Each structure stands twice: as C-alpha cells, then as structure tokens.
Amino acid sequence: MDNKKKYIGSLPQKELLKLYAKHVNGPKVRFFKAAGLGVIPGERKGIMLKTLAGPRQTDPPLEIYNCRSSGGVFNLGHCNPTIVRTLKEALDAGLDLGDHQLLSEQRALLGKKMAELLPGDISKTTFGVSGGEAIDCAIKFSRAYTKRKECVSTIGGYHGHTGFALATGDPNFRDNFLWSFPEFKQVPFGDAEAMRNAVGENTACVIFETIPATAGVLLASKGYFSEVREICNETGAMMIIDEVQAGLGRTGHMWAIYGGVYPDEKVIPDFMVLSKGMSAGIYPLSTCSYKPFIEKAVFKDDPFIHISTTGGAELGCVVALKMLEIQSDPKFLDHVRKMGTIFGEGLEKIKQEYSDLIKEVRGRGLMWGVEFYEEEDSLLAMISIIKEGVLLNYCGNKKDTLIIMPPLIVEKGDLEEILIRISRGVLKLKNLKK
Ligand SMILES: Cc1ncc(COP(=O)(O)O)c(C=O)c1O
C-alpha cells in the first residue's frame, strides 16, 4: 500500500463514518448527514481540501476551498511545504518533544522571537498545547499577580473548553457541565461603560478577543480598546487579549489590538494569548505571553509551579518559529491587506445584491462576518455555499452570522472564484425561498 493510501482513504468513507459514529461521536455524524454533508476530509493541499467521497458515497470527492481555516490553524494553508520541510529537518536533526521540566534551546529561541514581535514589553512566554490551556494560564497568572479572583469577559466571546476558559464563556457551552463560577461575569462587547461598571478592586482580569469570532465577528468602535486599557490601569486588573483567531497577521497587521482593527489605535495588553495559527496547521502549540513584572508572582517561590508536559514541544517551537518568520514579513502582511480589500469589497457587493437576505458585512483583513436577517437563512446559506465548494461556518454564539476566514496565502484569482461560489450559494438559497 502506498503511504497516501495508508493514511488517507484507508477504508471507504461509509465504513469510516460508522466507526466515527460508534467510537467517537454519533450525534456529530448524524448532524453532518442531515445537512447532506456526511463526508470526511481526505487529501488537502494549500487552500483546498478534498473529501474521501461525495455525500452519496458514490459521488466523486468534493473539492473545497477551505475558508474556515479552522479559525486560523491553516493560515499558511494545508501542509505548507516550507513548514513540512522545516519539521522534517528538525526530526532528522534529532529533535523531539523535549522534557518540560528541563531547560530548552527551542523554547528560548521561540520566546525571544515572540518578545521581538509582540507589542510593548510583553516579553515572557509560557507554552501550552491548546488555546484553552493558554487562556487558563493567563487567568491563573492574573490571579497570582493581583491576589484577586474576579474575571470579566464579554458576552458571546469564546476562549475554550478548559476550566477557567470555559468559565469565561456563554451558558450554552457551560451549563451541561454544571460549570458556573460566581467570580466570573460577562458584559456586552464594545460597551466601555458596562466594562467600567463591572471592573473593580476585586477584578483580577478582563478578557476578550480583539475581534470576537464566535460572537459574530464583532468590531468595537474606535477607542474601546484604549478605554478598557485605562479601566485596567485605574483598577489594577490585568488586560488579557485573546488573539487565537485574530492575531498573527489575520487582519493584515501582526496584532489586531495593535493597529489591526484601527491602524492608529495601538493598545498594549498585559497578556496576549495565541494558539491555532501557532501550529502552522502541523504541530499544536499555544502561548501565553505577558509583561515581565508578572513572572515573579507566579514563579519566584516555585519555578515548577506551572506544568504542561507537551506544551512547548521542541518540534512545535521549530514549526512556530518558521511560521512567525513567514507571517511577520512586511510583504506577507501587505499581501493580506491587499487580499482583504478585494475580499471585503466582493462580499459587500454580494450583500448589495441580496440586501433582502444579508444585513451586514464586516471584518478586517481576511476575517469577515456576513450577517443575515434570519438565523435560518444563515444556516441554509452555509450549507448551500459549502455545496458550492467553499467551506465556512456560522458563528457559534451568533448563528445569523457566517464567519469566513480564507488562508492568508490566498491569491486574487482564488478569491474571485470563492466570491463567485459564495454568490451562487446565496442565489440558490434565494431561489429556494421563492
Ligand atoms: C478565540 C479563541 N480562543 C480560544 C480558543 C480555544 O482554543 P482550543 O480549542 O485550542 O482550546 C478558541 C477555539 O476555537 C478560540 O476561537
């Protein structure tokens, strides 16, 4: 058996769906089948992925533009050749996970690179595997530093499913797990007055995504980030910014909070949390980066107090370093800005054409939300557009909005094709409603 067949399409899709339902998650398989999308991703390359077979199993594989990018995991597309080469080189050179209790060359080098790129004096990094883990780390460190317990997050925001991260989220994600902490409260995103009222002398930290993705790709008015910074300065609360989706060049700027949403609004948080894109789609790694004054409160008495065995794996550090080298290049960021303008204008045109269905298009760089008047239309449009060959999804906490995030390496010709397909998908929805 050749290697490809060994790993991709080793069994017919029908059998794999049965195995998935039996041993992984039955309701998920039923959900995808009901939407006419009972397919399993197979080959993937660049901005495209293929399914193993079509929805009717006898159909040929679907070829899809991945405009989900798994929230930024595939910023550099699937199996980016430079990243794959780098990982193979590091394996051949004899690197492995490393031992988390020991010191590490690769973690030192990645920490230095992060310090060079992050805004202001954010210069220390603690590593993890997942986004939720890195968020938990930021909240824990805030509590250690401030000796306070309260946390203020924003309604609809999403920071993961681990302990503290889950506690910051909406009840729909928490309730089934009986997860509710009295010290955690939520306020509307973009409302500085509500934030001011919620934050006080017991607040350890304020946390939000610069462009909340799950909440509907929301854009705060100019001045909001600076005002929250001020509130944190006045009360001593730590400002934690989650750029798991909006960071690493997604807005056409390295950091959304530092010029990515409004070029002349550059705010320096106390913590910056990254994940998804840090993996370059190949090797999971998350980072919780913070200002140096925080270190003492966490590690002085016990440098081993925070542990993640596979967090900051040395192979992952090598991958992340190469990814940062590519994505922080001014030419790369310029490309994202140019593609972002083309894509934003194209989506706006689609909105004008279907103004009876689409309420608003908003975004920055290559992170866009398309809000429909009706939640049902957004869900039907999502299925219709996927069937046209563009993978995207609705926002988990604002289902009337589709979130579209093409890989950052997307080219003009691809975007034009993607826009045609999105438009066709919306047209089919419109015809369906007649
Ligand atoms: C903005 C944001 N923060 C944090 C997370 C949590 O990341 P993970 O699923 O790796 O724990 C996610 C995941 O979707 C996210 O979108």
Which residue segments constitute the domains of the chain, with CATH numbers given?
Answer: 3-27+39-79+330-433 (3.90.1150.10), 81-327 (3.40.640.10)
Q: Structure pTM?
A: 0.97
Distance 299 CA to ligand 1 centre (A): 26
Kindly give, in sequence order, each residue whose CB lies less than 8 Å from that of residue 303, ignoring residues fewer than 6 positions away. none
Give the Cβ contact number of residue 56 at 10 Å: 9
Which residues of the chain are under the pLDDT cut of 70?
1
Task: Give yes or no for residue 169 CB within 6 A of ligand 1.
Answer: no
Cα–Cα distance, 74 to 250 (Å, whole number): 11
Task: Give yes or no for residue 354 CB within 6 A of ligand 1.
Answer: no
The helix-helix angle for 375-387 and 412-433 (nearest 10°) equals 130
Radius of gyration of the chain (CA): 22
Q: By the 8 A CB rule, do 97 and 314 touch?
A: yes
Cα–Cα distance, 25 to 154 (Å, whole number): 30
Cα–Cα distance, 115 to 415 (Å, whole number): 33
What is residue 347's predicted lDDT score, i.e. its pLDDT? 98
Mutate to test the pocket of ligand 1, among 153, 245, 398, 405 (most ligand atoms within 8 A of CB): 245
Mutate to test the pocket of ligand 1, among 244, 251, 271, 283 (most ligand atoms within 8 A of CB): 244
Give the Cβ contact number of residue 129 at 10 Å: 20
Task: Give yes or no for residue 357 CB within 6 A of ligand 1.
Answer: no
For ligand 1, atom 2, the nearest C-alpha belongs to 159
What is residue 55's predicted lDDT score, i.e. its pLDDT? 85
Query: Residue 359 — φ and ψ, nearest 5°?
Result: -90, -45
DSSP reduced 3-state for 409: coil
Distance 300 CA to ligand 1 centre (A): 29
Distance 147 CA to ligand 1 centre (A): 26
User: Which atom of ligand 1 is nearest the CA belonging to 286?
Assistant: 10
What is residue 2's predicted lDDT score, i.e. its pLDDT? 75
Distance 274 CA to ligand 1 centre (A): 9
What is residue 227's predicted lDDT score, i.e. its pLDDT? 98
Distance 160 CA to ligand 1 centre (A): 5
Measured between its terminal Cα atoms, the distance across the chain in Å is 51
Task: Give yes or no for residue 209 CB within 6 A of ligand 1.
Answer: yes
Cα–Cα distance, 201 to 147 (Å, whole number): 11
Cα–Cα distance, 29 to 50 (Å, whole number): 18
Task: Give yes or no for residue 241 CB within 6 A of ligand 1.
Answer: no
Kindly give, in sequence order, each residue whose CB lies less than 8 Å from that of residue 112, ignoring residues fewer than 6 positions away. none
Give the residue among 19, 67, 23 at the shortest CA–CA distance from 40. Answer: 19
Cα–Cα distance, 230 to 357 (Å, whole number): 39
Cα–Cα distance, 381 to 422 (Å, whole number): 9
Q: By the 8 A CB rule, do 295 and 124 touch?
A: yes
Task: Give yes or no for residue 369 CB within 6 A of ligand 1.
Answer: no
Task: Give yes or no for residue 409 CB within 6 A of ligand 1.
Answer: no
